[in-house]
């Protein structure tokens, strides 16, 4: 078991050193600007059909939300953008977003990324960047 | 195999019922069901709560499994009820067939688990749960004859589970560590405590899982065991497994187990097969 783990770690390290990753690797994996627009549109479609969470968006300016979502994903993925919206904590306080709401959104995101054939490694990279937002979003 | 197939078929049929919602938790984050009932790997209870019920949601999970090694077959079946992704109640039944000696031993297990902190996917801190398993050996004649003191016992455990997203080769990795206090001899299948030692033994149990994609995972487990019986050595348990999460109602786990020496029968290795069906509402 110990040998197995050491071998895996060694392989992972050598894989990293052999292919230095560009800063915008994730942005490219997500399909660049058009990919992120599709991602945002797909996510909006899923939200619209989700009775559990759609009520949180009843007073939302959807066009602005879409623009900020794309900006945020773009900045997070190393793309050439700057997120101009409020902090996650500011924008979610008072909405009483539950763990189940958050889970649903994560599932929608995975579904949309899978439909758009985003590779699993890139999906996981984006999820890793979004997961820490949980504490700023849920039960605020 | 007959019994395993019978219960598997029943669970499979239930998964075709369209009336149940799937629950909000992300696929595979309910884990599998361990042979003792309740969420875990195959042989280790995890801090994970069974099923896909998230906050404010209930889930019901049924599971059957079979371990087949050289001289024994262990059939397990359980049903568990979870609420709020925090509370888990499980009721399980194990039947150990003594293939070489003849006869069988039956054990029932009632499990309770409570999540005390953390979020498996979302928090830097692991998800941490405490649990207990009250076990009762229903066929105590053989365990008593080989030196067991009691036909029942209660295990207590503390488990920590965490998924690291994008951990290795871009894959998500789940690690679990569990500390258990137990008097169980071969997990209670051979009774609890001995005439010379009725104290709790503390053991560590570990699982490591790589999620290849949202539906497929491979993993390994190690379960430390006490060695209290005079008549035969008891070894630690190990397994390697592949898990397939068909959807948020059905999962299948197949693996290889190494149970070491059991009741003087050495080198007990073989297969592990489990099927789980779960519904949330």
Contact yes or no for A114 and B172 at CB 8 A: no
**B87 at interface of A, judged by CB pairs closer than 8 A:** no
Q: Is residue A53 part of a domain?
A: yes
Residue A122 lies in a domain: yes
Q: What's the sign of the alpha-carbon dihedral A39, A41, A44, A49?
A: negative
For residues B65 and B33, the answer to whether their CB atoms sit within 8 Å is yes
**Tens of pLDDT, residues A14-39:** 555 556 789 999 999 999 999 999 99
Structurally, chain A folds into a number of domains equal to 1
Q: What is the pLDDT of residue B10?
A: 74
Instruction: Give the mean pLDDT of B79-88.
Output: 97
Entry pTM = 0.91
Residue A82 lies in a domain: yes
pLDDT in tens, B177-196: 999 999 999 999 999 999 99
- Domain containing A41 — which CATH number? 1.10.490.10
Q: Are B155 and B165 contacting, i.e. CB atoms less than 8 angstroms apart?
A: no
On whether residue A6 sits in a domain, the answer given is no
Residues B210/B173, Cβ–Cβ less than 8 Å? yes
Give the residue from A47, A107, A124 with the most B CB atoms within 10 Å of its CB, the best one to mutate: A124
Q: Closest Cα partner for A43 from A121, A138, A130, A125?
A: A130
The pLDDT of residue B277 is 95
Q: Is residue A70 part of a domain?
A: yes
With an 8 Å Cβ cutoff, are A135 and B123 in contact? yes
Give the model confidence (pLDDT) of B18-67 as tens digits: 555 779 999 999 999 999 999 999 999 999 999 999 999 999 999 999 99
Closest Cβ–Cβ partner in A100, A131, A134 for B24: A100
Whole-number Å distance between alpha carbons of A129 and A123 = 10
pLDDT at site A5: 64
What domains can be seen in chain B, in order of their start residue?
2-280 (2.40.160.40)
Residue A133: which domain range?
21-137
Mutation target among A10, A107, A110, A119 for the B interface, most CBs of B within 10 A: A107
Q: Could you give the percent of chain B with pLDDT greater than 70?
A: 96
């Amino acid at each position: 078991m110990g040998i197995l783990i050491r071998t895996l770690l060694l392989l992972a390290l050598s894989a990293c050193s052999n292919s230095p990753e560009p800063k915008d690797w994730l942005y490219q994996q997500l399909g660049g600007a058009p990919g992120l627009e599709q991602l945002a549109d797909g996510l909006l479609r899923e939200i619209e059909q989700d009775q559990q969470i759609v009520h949180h968006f009843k007073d939302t300016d959807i066009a602005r939300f879409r623009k900020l979502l794309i900006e945020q994903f773009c900045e997070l993925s190393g793309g050439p953008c700057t997120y101009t919206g409020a902090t996650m904590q500011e924008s979610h306080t008072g909405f009483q977003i539950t763990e189940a709401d958050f889970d649903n959104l994560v599932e929608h995101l995975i579904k949309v990324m899978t439909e758009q054939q985003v590779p699993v490694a890139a999906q996981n990279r984006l999820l890793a960047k979004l997961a820490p937002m949980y504490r700023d979003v849920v039960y605020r | 195999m007959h019994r395993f197939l019978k219960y598997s078929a029943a669970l499979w049929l239930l998964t075709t019922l369209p009336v149940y919602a799937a629950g909000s938790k992300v696929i595979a984050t309910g884990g599998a069901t361990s042979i003792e009932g309740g969420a875990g790997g195959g042989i280790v209870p995890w801090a994970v709560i069974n099923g896909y019920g998230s906050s404010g949601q209930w889930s019901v999970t049924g599971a059957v499994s079979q371990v087949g090694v050289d001289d024994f077959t262990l059939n397990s079946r359980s049903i568990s009820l979870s609420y709020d992704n925090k509370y888990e109640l499980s009721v399980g039944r194990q039947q150990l067939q003594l293939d070489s000696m003849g006869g069988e031993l039956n054990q029932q297990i009632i499990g309770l688990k409570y999540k005390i902190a953390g979020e498996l996917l979302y928090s830097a801190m692991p998800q941490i749960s405490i649990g207990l398993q009250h076990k009762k050996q229903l066929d105590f004649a053989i365990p008593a004859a080989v030196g067991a003191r009691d036909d029942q016992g209660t295990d207590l455990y503390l488990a920590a589970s965490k998924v690291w997203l994008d951990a290795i080769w871009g894959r998500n990795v789940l690690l679990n560590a569990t500390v258990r206090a137990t008097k169980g001899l071969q997990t209670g299948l051979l009774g609890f405590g001995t005439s010379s030692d009725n104290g709790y033994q503390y053991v560590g149990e570990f699982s490591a899982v790589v999620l290849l994609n949202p539906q497929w995972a491979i993993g390994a487990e190690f379960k430390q065991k006490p060695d209290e019986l005079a008549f035969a050595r008891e070894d630690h348990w190990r397994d390697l497994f592949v898990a397939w999460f068909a959807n948020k109602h059905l999962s299948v786990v197949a693996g290889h187990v190494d149970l070491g020496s059991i009741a003087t029968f050495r080198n007990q290795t073989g297969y592990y097969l489990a099927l789980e069906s779960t519904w949330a509402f």
